[in-house]
Structure 1
């Protein structure tokens, strides 16, 4: 009894790698190995790299907009209609300038996610699930070991990024302090360049930190996906079918095939026997068949059953051991008699026809 309990305990341990079927089911549910840090870092890196080349356009737009505000908008009468027009124009112009930045972020974010998990439509992952808004489960997630690890990881990243930002600002501190002496456009370009530099440096740091996080997320996902030996066996049964059910199904198919074969015995012309081990049923219709056809055959118990039916229906039986053995081994049910056995079979049929006074 103790040994059986020990075996059950060890069979319940999740020591086996997830099967392809379980991986596919988890993927359909949106449960995949991915690191959000990778997405964030790559989005940030791509955004600021693009901003380096796009900053001139943004600067020109801001200068034009400020010029337009002081030369056009300030000369208008302040009414509800004029304010609505001004806000609409500013919104449209700002959207045109900001749209490329948002598009870059979306494209890079999508590409980063696809790079980790590929592209697959998973409607199961976006279904409304009430357990996701369960306060008790939410409280457990907040104070779980995983949440604590994420907290310390975030604090570590904030500390490193803060150090990078401080270093860059400290290096350019003199330029920032003297910015009041520069032209406004030069000051804008300085701030834009420093912002881009801080963004790119921080993004590169986050990309470096995201690599071990991605490796850990894959390891943790594989660990969560592990299966016990019992789970693997159960899945195999579901995929292949329960052996007992398969055995019953196979037995039923054999019984149906046997019944169909036995239905051919009363229509036969002759049964050639071994006499005890084999029985082969032959049928020949002159004009519609090129050669005699084996309509049923069997060995041992099946042969005995065929001979019983033949006696009941008065089907002639001929004992010919070599011919019965040869027909049983060389011809399947529905096959014509092999050519090398034509002569022997023809002699048997001629003998039967003579008995029936057919010739």
Structure 2
């Protein structure tokens, strides 16, 4: 593979790559989804709370106008009036305003989990670069925004014409109606318009979200070299891990060879396996102090001969012990009988040798 091919970002991003992007505040986000939630929330607020908000603001304002001659003009009086109007406004608009805040948060949380990052506040020279600016003006994102804006203008115009044109005669007659009827008609037409806009923008928001997510996902893709580097960082360099494994094996081999002279017996398969066992009176079971195959097995036998450690040939037992027992662990229960016979035989040999010396 050529260098050009290996540098192309053709690999799907790893989970670590996506998590790092999220920590930087780089997430897939469609502003159209936020706009839809805000307009849908405003429509819900207008349809549910328009009467209560109107009454909540109408009564204090009516009292203010009707009793204006009683208002105290000193500092304390004006402060009390301001506070009363503020409390009335909060009481009337508190719940609708809270619903709008919830709608704004829902628009973001639906697209991605919460993000707390100061990465966007850091100065970046790419933001003032002419080349980067040209890419933003004439790139794929700019073209998509232009087409999206053009579609919204045309669609909104069509919606307004479709709804208001049949009502043109009622709109002409509004100049002869009282203020109450005008307000009712205005609210009804406004809700009708907003409901149609919400339905139209839902399609825009869905399409824009998938476009923004796909654009963001393509930006997160990785080259083969980046995948390899990340694998090295997360799993460790294979060469270093191999070297560490080699050092550990060398240390374990030295420790085993140092323990072989103290072993009670070495059980071997002469061609491949050697297992050194240690047993002393009072121990629950013999313990494996060294084991190995091929060259290591030969070295164990060599050290055992040099230190007069008995070497017993038992092919099936040597294979079984090598496969089932670890260094510094007691032998398994199923091998107690076979090993006990060998240990007994070795101890008998030692007693016979010591008797002859006497």
Deviations 1:42-98 (A, max 9, x none): 221132123112111122234313321221234425445444433332232222222
Contact 2:285 2:336 in 1 (8 A): no
Aligned residue number for residue 344 of structure 2: 346
Contact 1:59 1:188 in 2 (8 A): no
Q: Which moved more, 1:22-31 or 1:210-219?
A: 22-31
Q: Relative to structure 1, is the Cα distance of residues 309 and 214 closer, same or farther in structure 2, using a 3 angstrom cutoff? A: same
What CA RMSD, in Å, does the superposition of the two structures yield over aligned residues? 3.0
Find the aligned partners of 1:258 and 1:226 in 2 and give their Cα distance: 46
Aligned residue number for residue 116 of structure 1: 111
What stretches of structure 1 of length at least 5 have no aligned partner?
A: 1-5
Deviations 1:86-136 (A, max 9, x none): 33322322222222222111212222322222x34x333566311289533
Aligned residue number for residue 294 of structure 2: 300
Q: Relative to structure 1, is the Cα distance of residues 276 and 213 closer, same or farther in structure 2, using a 3 angstrom cutoff? A: closer
Find the aligned partners of 2:248 and 2:9 in 1 and give their Cα distance: 39
Q: Relative to structure 1, is the Cα distance of residues 54 and 330 closer, same or farther in structure 2, using a 3 angstrom cutoff? A: closer
Q: Which residue, out of 308, 321, 326, partners 1:315?
A: 308
Q: Which moved more, 1:150-159 or 1:196-205?
A: 150-159
Q: How do residues 97-246 of structure 1 correspond to structure 2 at under 5 angstroms?
A: 97-117=92-112, 119-120=113-114, 122-124=115-117, 128-131=121-124, 134-136=127-129, 139-140=133-134, 143-145=137-139, 146-246=141-241
Q: Which moved more, 1:227-236 or 1:52-61?
A: 227-236
Q: Which moved more, 1:30-39 or 1:158-167?
A: 158-167
Q: Relative to structure 1, is the Cα distance of residues 19 and 201 closer, same or farther in structure 2, using a 3 angstrom cutoff? A: same
Task: Give the TM-score of the pair, scaled to structure 1.
Answer: 0.84
Q: Which residue, out of 21, 25, 32, partners 2:16?
A: 21
Find the aligned partners of 1:329 and 1:150 in 2 and give their Cα distance: 67
Task: Give the TM-score of the pair, scaled to structure 2.
Answer: 0.85
Q: Which moved more, 1:339-348 or 1:101-110?
A: 339-348
Aligned residue number for residue 63 of structure 2: 68
Aligned residue number for residue 277 of structure 2: 282
Length, aligned pairs only? 350
What stretches of structure 2 of length at least 5 have no aligned partner?
A: none
Q: Which moved more, 1:337-346 or 1:53-62?
A: 337-346
Q: Which moved more, 1:46-55 or 1:275-284?
A: 275-284
Q: Match of 2:129, SS?
A: helix
Q: Relative to structure 1, is the Cα distance of residues 281 and 188 closer, same or farther in structure 2, using a 3 angstrom cutoff? A: same
Shift of 1:324: 4.8
Shift of 1:152: 3.9
Is 1:95 matched with 2:90? Answer: yes
Shift of 1:257: 1.9
